[in-house]
Amino acid sequence: MKQGFIGTSSDGTRGVRWLGAGLAIATIALGACQDPNAGGAPTKWTKAEPGSHEEVETLPSVPPRPSSLSVAALLEKAKEQFSPLPEAVESRNNPITEEKVTLGRMLYFDPRLSKGGDIACATCHDLEAFGVDVREEGGHRLATSLGFQGQKGDRNAPTVYNAGLYLAQFWDGRSPDLEDQAKGPVLNPVEMAMPDEATVVATLKAVPGYVEAFATAFPGQPDPITYDNMAKAIGAFERQLMTPGPFDDFLAGKLTALDEQQLAGLDLFMNAGCIQCHTGPAVGGTMFQKLGTVKPWEGVTDEGRFKITKAEADKLVFKVPSLRNITKTGPYLHDGSITSLEDMVQKMATHQLAKGELTPDELSSMIAFLGSLEGRLPEEYIAKPTLPGSGAVVQEPVEDEGEPAEGEPSEDEAVEDEAQPEPEPAGEPG
């Protein structure tokens, strides 16, 4: 196991619901592992097992599996590289509590944390859309997000799902963890653009519901509304943003979780060397690597980690991104410069590896495998909460008389409406 996954169970014990079934299946003959998803002609695995007859039929569209591994052997090999997603990524510095998560969820959706009152974390990291910015311009997704007054940043908004697993945050890894990261965008002049921490704290203190929620989330603290606690609450919420999917079911032992083509793609992913960089439970996020290790990458202006470390060797070095939900999180790369996943994969095969261009069959298997990394969204967990109404004046906490009212009608509605602003028409400053 790689170091750096704080509190992640290294044996993946959190996701073992399929294990029993998987072991049972694994002991059955593997010669004809039928694809449960294929309706018509069954696809079959070649299995050179003593005693078993040769089965080499494959659907015409599915390339023959490049190695002679059985599904069970492929699983064993995959388990050396990957592990199922945990339910949460714990932190010693910020233990997850329900109260913190409840507060963090509200803050995540609250545009009042921005100078214009119109941008929330959720604006650029839409949880219903796999945690990325889905706002469009000219019929396609923005390569880089629009922030305060329509200003464009210079990097693509990565997904917040499964991000707690990474060795560091941001494309260049300049932030150590989610709690530290959450302090950035609120004050970033091209993102939420709040002038300083004090203004953020004063804004939160003016909302009676937040006075209550911070006190509950950080019990025993004399002054619970602090900038750090805001970030901790958001971090606690993000630590459980996980998207387990078919690949996790497979890793947990369910041999039928991936179809024939996806299995071939997984085999290729491992054999071609993608796993040299994209590994671990997030299939990435465990290391920094140069963009263009084998062949230089044209047109990259961002110097990546060099900006942080000033070490010559860190020029064009970026965090290897997670490939979880990659079919849904384009456009790709730190600058959002690549829109097609096929194109992206071919570039990886030629610039990051000596493998060279994938054949059409290989490419479709690879894309199919990447599709198995698309997970299930935690719908209930990410449901947009009712935001606490703004108090016109700072109310003296009269007495400790119980809960604040849950749903405030008119004001909340106004807040809700602002939470997801319409995309800026067009033509913002370049």
Q: Is 217 in the site for ligand HEC (CB under 6 A)?
A: no
CB 265 within 8 A of CB 369: yes
CB 199 within 8 A of CB 193: no
CA distances (Å), 343 to each of 109, 300, 351, in order?
34, 16, 12
Q: Is 349 in the site for ligand HEC (CB under 6 A)?
A: yes
Closest CB to ligand HEC among 256 and 329? Answer: 329
Identify whether 191 is a catalytic site residue. Answer: yes
CB 118 within 8 A of CB 135: no
Q: Is 111 in the site for ligand HEC (CB under 6 A)?
A: no
* Contact characters 219-258, ligand HEC, x per CB under 6 A: ---------------x------------------------
Residue 374 is encoded by which pair of tokens? 């698309």
In sequence order, the 6+-apart residues with CB closer than 8 A to the CB of 330 are 141, 338, 339, 340, 341, 344
Which residue in 127, 251, 277, 382 binds ligand HEC (CB under 6 A)?
277
How buried is residue 309: exposed, middle or buried, by Cβ count under 10 Å (0-12/13-18/19+)? Answer: middle
Which residue in 207, 258, 323, 415 binds ligand HEC (CB under 6 A)?
323
Closest CB to ligand HEC among 33 and 165? Answer: 165
Q: Is 96 in the site for ligand HEC (CB under 6 A)?
A: no
CB 357 within 8 A of CB 346: yes
Q: Is 385 in the site for ligand HEC (CB under 6 A)?
A: no
Residue 364 is encoded by which pair of tokens? 């479709």
Which residue in 105, 112, 141, 278 binds ligand HEC (CB under 6 A)?
278
Residue 168 is encoded by which pair of tokens? 């560091």
Which residue in 352, 364, 372, 390 binds ligand HEC (CB under 6 A)?
352
Residue 378 is encoded by which pair of tokens? 């935690």
Among candidate residues 90, 191, 260, 418, the one labeled active-site is 191
Assign 152 to helix, strand or coil: strand
CA distances (Å), 133 to each of 119, 190, 309, in order?
12, 15, 28
How buried is residue 138: exposed, middle or buried, by Cβ count under 10 Å (0-12/13-18/19+)? Answer: exposed
Closest CB to ligand HEC among 296 and 397? Answer: 296
Instruction: Give the number of residues in contact with ligand HEC, rule: CB under 6 A.
Output: 50
Q: Is 215 in the site for ligand HEC (CB under 6 A)?
A: no
Q: Is 348 in the site for ligand HEC (CB under 6 A)?
A: yes
Choices 28-36, 84-92, 135-143, 349-357; region in contact with ligand HEC by CB under 6 A: 349-357
Closest CB to ligand HEC among 33 and 283? Answer: 283
Q: How many helices (H) and strands (E) does the chain have?
A: 15, 4
Assign 259 to helix, strand or coil: coil
- The catalytic residue positions are 191
Question: What residues line the site for ligand HEC (CB under 6 A)?
Answer: 119, 121, 123-125, 145, 147, 153, 155, 157-158, 160, 163, 166, 169-171, 178, 181-182, 185-186, 191-192, 234, 272-274, 276-278, 289, 291, 293, 318, 320-321, 323, 326, 329, 332-334, 344-345, 348-349, 352-353, 366
